[in-house]
Every structure is written in structure tokens, then in C-alpha cells.
């Protein structure tokens, strides 16, 4: 497929994923059922019709208001849908299609959703990371079946244990790093296991570097103290995205 076709396809998938992320980031912290397909207006609780739930387009057509009660809908919806459309429009032509690549696109979805929820409630929910690890593990098994070899399984196990496992232990021992962060790294480690351990190591190193930079900047500007808890998930996600793009430069 031509790169342009892949970019358009990526943009469509990204817009839908961005819309799903908004729904999950709203429903998970509120303890709502995430399996229900239909969304409702947070203000008047009227169910949003399918034709009013088209990512980006509906927001523009309805001028960012609920059709029923005309309350202003947060701009974060269209911002997230737009930025995910852009991100996947860049990623899909770069990585194209295959079982490994689907794993990467899924990990991006889990990581960005986790980062948003982490920023909102300072916690990366298990429902995201456990689903992510299970799906990524199944994709590794899929790669193994596809290649008629057990070769993909060992690096995936090692990556999960070395990176997810060590951060999990550090999280339990120091209570500084959240266990949700460690589980998110587990999802990313499984997705990137065919890229080599050093690649995953760079992602984690990058997240600590970004986290320290922002932490110091917040302390210098007096917006955080040494004791402030800064959510770490967004830095893992940012480092993961940067690594994916830099790897294809």
C-alpha cells in the first residue's frame, strides 16, 4: 500500500482510538462500565446518537455543544482525537502492518490512555495494563505461530521480567514508583521485545530523564516541592513515542 493510503488509514484509526481514549479516561476513574458502547452527555445524560459520535467531525458540526442540552463539550475531546489521528497518520506509514506492528499500535493506545488517566487521578488502572499485557502476550504467541518457531517468546519473557519485573520490585520496595508504572512498562516491553532489550532500556532511561527534567523545572519554578508526587506514566508514554519516531528517522 502507498504511504499516503497508509497515512489516511492511520488518521482514521487514530481518530477512533482518540475518541475511545476520551471515553475510557472518563469512565475508568468514575468506575463506570467500559464495555458499554454508547456514550452519554456528562451534563444532561442523554445518550449520544451514533451520528453525533463521529470523531472530530461531530464536534465541528455541533460546534462543540451537546445536541440535546447545548452544554459546551470539553475541547480535550477534539484535541485528543486530532492528535491521535496525526500520531497514527505518522506511525502507520512508518511501521506498516504485521503482528508486531499491531502490538506497537495497541501499546501506544494503552500508554496514551494510561498517561491521561494517570494525569487525572494519579493512577494507571489495572484494567488497562492487564488487558495490555494479555493482548501483547497473545500477539507474541501469534508471531511464534506465524514464524513456526518459539524464537519470539523468549525475548518477550526476558523483556517482561527484566524491565516490568524490576520496576515492579523497585515499586514495592521504595513506594516511590507506582506499580501501575511498572505494569505499563510491562506492556511496552512485550510490544517492543522484537526490537531488542537495549531499545526498551532506552525507553525507560528516556522516561527517567524526562521525568527528572520536568521535576527539576517544576521545583525551580516553585510549582512542586521535593515531596510532590509527579505522575510518572506520562513520561514513560512520551519516551515510548519519541523512541518509536526516532527509530525510524
- Sites of contact with Zn ion (CB under 5 A): 41, 43-44, 66, 68-69
- Which residue, among 60, 54, 180, has the nearest Cα to 120 in the 3D structure? 180
Residue carrying C-alpha cell 492487564: 130
SS3 at position 97:
coil
Nearer to Zn ion, 76 or 126 (CB): 76
The Cα–Cα gap between 123 and 1 comes to 40
Nearer to Zn ion, 1 or 69 (CB): 69
Provide the minimum distance between the beta carbon of 85 and Zn ion in the complex, in angstroms, as a whole number: 25
Residue-level length of the chain: 249
Provide the minimum distance between the beta carbon of 23 and Zn ion in the complex, in angstroms, as a whole number: 15
Provide the minimum distance between the beta carbon of 46 and Zn ion in the complex, in angstroms, as a whole number: 5
Cα distances (angstroms) measured from residue 220 to each of 215, 216, 224, 226, 227: 9, 6, 8, 10, 14
Residue 123, Cβ neighbours under 10 Å: how many?
17
Nearer to Zn ion, 30 or 229 (CB): 30
Nearer to Zn ion, 74 or 245 (CB): 74
Provide the minimum distance between the beta carbon of 152 and Zn ion in the complex, in angstroms, as a whole number: 48
Amino acid at each position: 500500500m502507498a504511504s499516503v493510503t497508509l497515512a489516511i488509514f492511520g488518521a482514521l484509526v487514530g481518530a477512533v482510538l482518540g475518541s475511545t481514549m476520551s471515553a475510557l479516561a472518563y469512565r475508568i476513574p468514575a468506575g463506570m462500565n467500559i464495555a458499554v458502547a454508547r456514550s452519554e452527555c456528562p451534563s444532561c445524560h442523554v445518550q449520544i446518537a451514533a451520528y453525533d459520535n463521529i470523531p472530530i467531525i461531530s464536534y465541528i458540526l455541533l460546534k462543540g455543544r451537546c445536541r440535546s442540552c447545548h452544554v459546551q463539550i470539553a475541547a480535550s475531546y477534539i484535541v485528543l482525537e486530532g492528535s491521535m489521528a496525526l500520531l497514527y497518520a505518522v506511525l502507520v506509514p512508518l511501521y506498516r502492518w504485521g503482528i508486531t506492528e499491531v502490538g506497537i499500535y495497541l501499546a501506544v493506545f494503552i500508554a496514551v490512555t494510561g498517561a491521561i488517566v494517570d494525569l487525572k487521578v494519579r493512577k494507571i488502572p489495572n484494567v488497562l495494563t492487564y488487558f495490555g499485557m494479555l493482548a501483547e502476550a497473545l500477539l507474541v504467541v501469534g508471531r511464534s505461530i506465524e514464524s513456526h518457531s518459539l524464537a519470539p517468546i523468549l525475548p518477550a519473557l526476558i523483556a517482561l521480567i527484566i524491565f516490568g519485573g524490576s520496576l515492579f520490585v523497585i515499586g514495592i520496595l521504595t513506594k516511590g514508583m507506582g506499580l501501575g508504572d511498572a505494569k505499563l512498562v510491562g506492556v511496552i516491553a512485550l510490544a517492543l521485545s522484537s526490537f531488542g532489550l537495549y531499545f526498551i532500556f532506552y525507553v525507560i532511561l528516556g522516561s527517567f530523564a524526562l521525568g527528572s527534567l520536568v521535576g527539576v523545572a517544576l521545583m525551580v519554578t516553585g510549582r512542586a516541592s521535593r515531596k510532590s508526587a509527579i505522575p510518572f506514566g506520562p513520561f514513560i508514554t512520551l519516551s515510548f513515542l519519541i523512541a518509536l519516531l526516532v527509530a525510524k528517522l
